[in-house]
């Protein structure tokens, strides 16, 4: 099974944001909101950095 780069980033973001949400907030509602927030930031940063690197390479 071969995983694409984006899938690897998405899985890393999912697991990391889950741990961040659980360990950084107290209530389940705040945990969920912070986990989603971290996930969106991880994916957004990956997309922005990949476009920057694309334009640097070309």
Q: pTM score > 0.85 for this model?
A: yes
C-beta pairs of 38-41 under 8 Å, 24+ apart in sequence: 38/13, 39/13, 39/14
How do residues 3-56 score in pLDDT, each as one tens digit? 899 999 999 999 999 999 999 999 999 999 999 999 999 999 999 999 999 999
C-alpha 36/C-alpha 57 separation (Å) is 32
- Domain spans of the chain? 5-57
């Amino acid at each position: 099974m071969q995983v694409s780069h984006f899938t690897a980033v998405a899985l890393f973001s999912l697991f990391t944001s889950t741990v961040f949400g659980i360990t950084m907030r107290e209530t389940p509602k705040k945990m969920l909101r912070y986990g989603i927030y971290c996930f969106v930031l991880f994916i957004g940063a990956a997309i922005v950095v990949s476009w920057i690197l694309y334009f640097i390479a070309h």
